Amino acid sequence: MEFSWDLVINAIVTGIVLGGFYAAVAIGVTIAFGMLDIVNIAHPAFMIAGAYLAFLGWEDFGFDPFVSMAVFAPCGYLFGRAFYRAYHYFFERRGDESLQGLAFFFGILFIVEIGVVLVFGVDYRSISEPYLESSVSVGFVSVPWRMLVPFLVGLGMLGSVHLYLSRTFTGRTILAVSQDVEAVRLIGANPIRAKEIAFGIAVATAIIAGVLLIIIQPVEPSITREYIGRAFAICVLGGIASIPGTLVASLILGVAEALTTTFYGPSWSPAVSFGLLLLTLIFRPVGIFGR
């Protein structure tokens, strides 16, 4: 497409808004992979579970997507805690987490995807609310609410998780647990409980991200695959365990993808995340906020 500054500015704004949503997707990977050393590649599976739950709630009960978040995110939290318990019992406790654990999460990813196909079919599903169809315009830049809502919710979620981790005892224990498990015991805390709570939070954020996803665009079961690469790329680019890093990396990826889509076409956008991932690994392996 021909170059013009209007397009650039539009792409940057779109990218930033998109980045807020990516942050909502990646925060759970930052927690699980960055802080708990759990390579949860099934994270996008929990996300589409959230998307389809929101669809179900909307179609059968007329739930607003925000009602879906309020109902399903706590369920996700409880499920996440139980899920971590099982993972810990069968894999982590025996030191089998690296390879067997990875295979386990891969399996979960497929089971969820196929489960969704069996229940909902492979067609695109979407939800719509009147307020999501309107836009906010400032000058020549126009942003639809169905992008703005995920952006704002994403930022709010990151902020809340950041406050929780830095201000509460359990939160700080979660930050400490990836650094030294024995030392966590020595301060009188139970590291397994801290990890369980953290994983519950990670799954809850995935469910919310899924609801945000179906607000943004129609969803079909194999959409998970696009997000595995994105989420892990953001996590690494941001510095693995850093929440501010996750936010900055999400915004960078969002803007880079929006610019690529505008000038080279949407088919290039998946290449952006892997390109950024490779560049990060070459030039700054610890990530932007790695410490």
Partner 1 sequence: MGFLMMSCSRKKSKGLILANSLAIEGLHAGYGEVRVLSGISINVRGGETVVLLGTNGNGKSTLIKCIMGQVRPTAGRIVATIDGTSYDLIGRSTEDIVGIGISLVPEGRRLFPKLTVEENLLLGAFREFARARISDSLAFCFDAFPRLKERRRQLAGSMSGGEQQMLAIARALMALPKILLVDEPSVGLAPILVSKTIETIANLKKQLGLTVLMAEQNFRQAIRIADRGYVLVHGQIVLSADNPQALQQNELVRRFYLGVG
Residue 288's SS3 state is: coil
7 near partner 1 (CB under 8 A): no
Residues numbered 215-274 forming contacts with partner 1, rule: CB under 8 A: 241
**Residues forming a β-bridge with 138:** 141
**CB 195 within 8 Å of CB 81:** no
Cβ 180 to partner 1 shortest distance, Å: 5
Cβ 288 to partner 1 shortest distance, Å: 15
Q: What residues contact residue 219 under an 8 Å CB cut-off, 6+ apart? A: 48, 51, 52, 55, 124, 125, 126, 213
Residues numbered 190-219 forming contacts with partner 1, rule: CB under 8 A: 190
183 near partner 1 (CB under 8 A): yes
Give the Cα separation of 186 and 65 in Å (integer): 43
Give the Cα separation of 253 and 265 in Å (integer): 16
In the list 13, 100, 172, 263, the residue contacting partner 1 (rule: CB under 8 A) is 172
In the list 67, 71, 143, 175, the residue contacting partner 1 (rule: CB under 8 A) is 175
In the list 61, 89, 124, 169, the residue contacting partner 1 (rule: CB under 8 A) is 169
Taking CB under 8 A as the binding criterion, the range among 165-173, 195-203, 228-236, 258-266 that sits at the site for partner 1 is 165-173
Cβ 240 to partner 1 shortest distance, Å: 10
Residue 239's SS3 state is: coil
In the list 70, 136, 187, 286, the residue contacting partner 1 (rule: CB under 8 A) is 187
Q: What is the DSSP letter of 222?
A: G
Number of residues near partner 1 (by CB under 8 A):
18
Give the Cα separation of 32 and 160 in Å (integer): 17
Output 122 or 186, the one with its CB closest to partner 1. Answer: 186
123 near partner 1 (CB under 8 A): no
Give the Cα separation of 105 and 130 in Å (integer): 38
Amino acid at 68: S
Q: What residues contact residue 128 under an 8 Å CB cut-off, 6+ apart? A: none
142 near partner 1 (CB under 8 A): no
Give the Cα separation of 205 and 73 in Å (integer): 7
In the list 2, 140, 182, 267, the residue contacting partner 1 (rule: CB under 8 A) is 182
Taking CB under 8 A as the binding criterion, the range among 56-64, 132-140, 175-183, 253-261 that sits at the site for partner 1 is 175-183
Output 169 or 268, the one with its CB closest to partner 1. Answer: 169
9 near partner 1 (CB under 8 A): no
Taking CB under 8 A as the binding criterion, the range among 16-24, 110-118, 180-188, 254-262 that sits at the site for partner 1 is 180-188
Other Cβ atoms closer than 10 A to 157: 23
Residue 285's SS3 state is: coil
User: Which residues in this chain contact partner 1 in the complex, by CB under 8 A?
Assistant: 166, 169, 172-173, 175-176, 179-180, 182-183, 185-190, 241, 291
